[in-house]
């Protein structure tokens, strides 16, 4: 990462203060490996906050999604539907399974998976001879997707939905927490997310058997025996008890972090909405977004890359919106359904600094330079 003193980061880790107590206790008691009270405590905190029945802490959000596909019995050659407007961590697990990703376009209200494009994709794949095995639904930038409509389509075909809620911890849809609306949900605690364990993730589910199996597979699938015996292929995906200690401290401040990120969004919107054709995504009625990142669509005539570089000159970090998966060289040969909305968003959009640790002064600096750049360039 480019670091100059005083840099304004897109999304920096932000400790609450008690993390070091949990970590110190782990070191004192020698619980430094992949078992211990911080792990159970952290999983308990995740369940408390999200109302999920079960949580399994793992070492990344990508690992959680991989486990979810494994638990659904996705086989090599199966097709898995996936949001195209997302981060690669949503789609790589499909390749890990030897399965084929089928990308589905977004709709304009949430920028997440379009129920109509989903229906079109499923119908087309079915006509081509095979019903997809699962749906990976991303809530990008913390904005919940149109879950009710998506699940209605999924249920009509009996296809399970896995939520990629990596960016959406603390977001809600119709009063329910993102991540708890599908068969399973995945969170990420990577350093750039709303809370962090330095690196980590969690799988949540209502289904006790799935949770047990997830833990079993995440810890090398050891059969019950005094020696190491294995009947299934497992993974080394368990989170460490030291990292989980950071997570426990972070869970204490999650609600505050959501409030802070939402306030950052409101501040930018109030300060910049007078700029003609600068667009902020509103929150649809059923959605409560954690506003993990504030995103804008720039007025026509302003290239995101030019704005990004101009802000970079002021030591301010921004990032283009996600380049859609169906336009990635890695995924170019896979099926895609939709009208290319995400490609147009990618060409016009920018993520603004959204770290909860930003001061009023920092935010005012971003606003000042954005105004200058957008009103002059
Ligand atoms: C961060 C992220 C992931 C992956 O999480 P890791 O913990 O980095 O593996 C997956 N999907 C989305 C949408 C993400 O933002």
- Whether residue 221 contacts residue 230, with contact meaning beta carbons closer than 8 Å, is answered with yes
Task: Name the band, by pLDDT with cuts 50, 70 and 90, for residue 194.
Answer: very high
pLDDT averaged over every residue in the chain: 97
Q: What is the pLDDT of residue 327?
A: 98
Question: Is position 98 within any domain?
Answer: yes
Q: Verify that 213 and 325 share a domain, yes or no.
A: no
Give yes or no for residue 3 having a pLDDT over 80: no
Question: Is position 5 within any domain?
Answer: no
Task: Return the residue whose CA atom lies nearest to atom 10 of ligand 1.
Answer: 89
What is the three-class DSSP state of 125? helix
Q: Give the Å distance between the CA of 371 and the centre of ligand 1.
A: 31
Residue of 57, 65, 89, 189 to mutate, ligand 1, most atoms within 8 A of C-beta: 89
Task: Return the residue whose CA atom lies nearest to atom 14 of ligand 1.
Answer: 166
Give tens-digit pLDDT for 360-374: 999 999 999 999 999
Question: Is position 8 within any domain?
Answer: no
The Cα-based distances of 248 to 20, 68, 101, 259 in angstroms read 10, 24, 35, 19
| End-to-end CA separation in angstroms for the chain | 27
Q: Verify that 44 and 90 share a domain, yes or no.
A: yes
Q: What is the position in ligand 1's atom list of the atom closest to the CA of 193?
A: 1
Q: Verify that 114 and 145 share a domain, yes or no.
A: yes
- Whether residue 111 contacts residue 281, with contact meaning beta carbons closer than 8 Å, is answered with yes
Q: Verify that 49 and 184 share a domain, yes or no.
A: yes
Query: Hey, what are 335's tokens?
Result: 């099926």
Percent of the chain whose predicted confidence (pLDDT) is above 90 = 98
User: What strand order describes the sheet that includes 79-83?
Assistant: 54-58, 201-205, 184-188, 161-164, 134-138, 79-83, 100-104, 336-337
What is the three-class DSSP state of 205? strand
Query: Of 251, 272, 296, which marks where a domain is finished?
Result: 251
Give yes or no for residue 275 having a pLDDT over 70: yes
Q: Verify that 338 and 236 share a domain, yes or no.
A: no
Q: What is the pLDDT of residue 211?
A: 98
Q: What is the pLDDT of residue 1?
A: 53
Query: Hey, what are 113's tokens?
Result: 């998976």
Give tens-digit pLDDT for 128-174: 999 999 999 999 999 999 999 999 999 999 999 999 999 999 999 99
Q: What is the mean pLDDT of residues 264-275?
A: 97
Q: Verify that 123 and 260 share a domain, yes or no.
A: no
Q: What is the position in ligand 1's atom list of the atom closest to the CA of 201?
A: 7
CATH number at residue 230: 3.40.640.10
Q: What is the position in ligand 1's atom list of the atom closest to the CA of 65?
A: 10
Please name the residues in contact with 72: beta carbons below 8 A apart, sequence gap of 6 or more. Answer: 133, 134, 160, 162, 183, 184
Q: Verify that 233 and 92 share a domain, yes or no.
A: yes
Give yes or no for residue 377 having a pLDDT over 80: no
Query: Hey, what are 97's tokens?
Result: 């399974």
Q: What is the position in ligand 1's atom list of the atom closest to the CA of 188?
A: 7
* CB-count burial class (<10 Å; 0-12, 13-18, 19+) for 265: buried
Q: Verify that 46 and 72 share a domain, yes or no.
A: yes
Q: What is the mean pLDDT of residues 290-306?
A: 97
The Cα-based distances of 295 to 5, 82, 100, 266, 353 in angstroms read 25, 22, 30, 12, 9
Give yes or no for residue 196 having a pLDDT over 60: yes
Q: Give the Å distance between the CA of 90 and the centre of ligand 1.
A: 7
Q: Verify that 245 and 268 share a domain, yes or no.
A: no
Q: What is the DSSP letter of 158?
A: T
Q: What is the position in ligand 1's atom list of the atom closest to the CA of 200?
A: 7
Q: Give the Å distance between the CA of 190 and the centre of ligand 1.
A: 7
Q: Give the Å distance between the CA of 349 and the centre of ligand 1.
A: 20
Q: What is the mean pLDDT of residues 266-275?
A: 97
**Strand 294-297 vs strand 279-280: parallel, antiparallel, or unpaired?**
antiparallel
Q: What is the pLDDT of residue 241?
A: 98
Q: What is the mean pLDDT of residues 224-231?
A: 97
Task: Name the band, by pLDDT with cuts 50, 70 and 90, for residue 375.
Answer: confident
Task: Name the band, by pLDDT with cuts 50, 70 and 90, for residue 4.
Answer: confident
- Whether residue 116 contacts residue 62, with contact meaning beta carbons closer than 8 Å, is answered with no
The Cα-based distances of 102 to 26, 84, 118, 344 in angstroms read 43, 9, 10, 20
Question: Is position 83 within any domain?
Answer: yes
Q: What is the mean pLDDT of residues 98-125?
A: 98
The Cα-based distances of 122 to 110, 130, 243 in angstroms read 21, 9, 40
Query: Of 221, 251, 281, which marks where a domain is finished?
Result: 251
Q: Verify that 223 and 331 share a domain, yes or no.
A: no
Q: What is the pLDDT of residue 24?
A: 98
User: What strand order describes the sheet that includes 176-177?
Assistant: 176-177, 172-173, 287-288
Give yes or no for residue 376 having a pLDDT over 90: no
Counted domains in the chain: 2
Give tens-digit pLDDT for 22-34: 999 999 999 999 9
- For residues 238 and 202, give the distance between their C-alpha atoms in angstroms, rounded to a whole number: 10
Question: Is position 367 within any domain?
Answer: yes
Q: What is the mean pLDDT of residues 272-281?
A: 96
Give tens-digit pLDDT for 35-56: 999 999 999 999 999 999 999 9
Q: What is the mean pLDDT of residues 289-295?
A: 98
Q: Give the Å distance between the CA of 348 and the centre of ligand 1.
A: 23
Task: Return the residue whose CA atom lies nearest to atom 3 of ligand 1.
Answer: 89
Q: What is the mean pLDDT of residues 77-93?
A: 98
Q: Give the Å distance between the CA of 227 and the centre of ligand 1.
A: 35
Find the residues whose C-beta lies inside 6 A of ligand 1. 60-62, 86-87, 89-90, 138, 164, 166-167, 188, 190, 201
Can you give the residue range of the structural domain that contains 320?
254-376
């Amino acid at each position: 990462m480019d670091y100059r003193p005083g840099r304004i980061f897109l999304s920096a880790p932000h400790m609450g203060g008690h993390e070091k107590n949990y970590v110190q206790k782990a070191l004192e008691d020698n619980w430094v490996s992949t078992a211990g009270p911080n792990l159970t405590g952290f999983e308990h905190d995740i369940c408390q906050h999200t109302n999920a029945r079960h949580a399994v802490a793992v070492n990344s959000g990508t690992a959680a999604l991989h486990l979810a596909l494994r638990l659904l019995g996705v086989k090599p050659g199966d097709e898995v539907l996936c949001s195209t407007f997302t981060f690669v961590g949503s789609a790589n697990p499909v390749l890990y399974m030897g399965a084929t990703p089928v990308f589905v376009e977004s709709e304009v209200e949430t920028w997440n998976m379009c129920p109509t494009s989903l229906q079109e994709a499923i119908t087309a794949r079915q006509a081509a001879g095979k019903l997809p095995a699962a749906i990976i639904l991303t809530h990008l930038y913390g904005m919940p997707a149109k879950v009710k409509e998506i699940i209605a389509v999924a249920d009509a075909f009996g296809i399970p939905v896995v939520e990629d809620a990596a960016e959406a911890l603390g977001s809600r849809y119709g009063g329910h927490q993102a991540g708890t609306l599908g068969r399973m949900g995945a969170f990420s605690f990577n350093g750039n997310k709303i809370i962090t364990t330095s690196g980590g993730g969690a799988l949540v589910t209502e289904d006790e058997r799935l949770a047990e199996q997830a833990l079993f597979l995440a810890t090398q699938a050891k059969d019950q025996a005094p020696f190491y015996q294995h009947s299934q292929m497992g993974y080394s995906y368990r989170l460490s008890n030291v990292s989980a200690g950071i997570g426990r401290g972070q869970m204490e401040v999650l609600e505050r972090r959501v409030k802070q990120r939402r306030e950052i969004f409101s501040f930018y919107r109030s300060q910049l909405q007078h700029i003609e054709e600068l667009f902020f995504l509103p929150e649809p009625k059923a959605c409560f977004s954690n506003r993990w990142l504030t995103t804008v669509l720039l007025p026509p005539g302003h290239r995101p890359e030019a704005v990004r570089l101009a802000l970079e000159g002021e030591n301010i970090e921004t990032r283009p919106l996600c380049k859609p998966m169906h336009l990635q060289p890695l995924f170019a040969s896979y099926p895609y359904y939709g009208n290319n909305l995400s490609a147009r968003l990618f060409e016009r959009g920018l993520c603004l600094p959204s770290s909860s640790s930003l001061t009023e002064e920092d935010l005012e600096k971003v606003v000042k330079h954005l105004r200058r750049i957008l009103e002059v360039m």
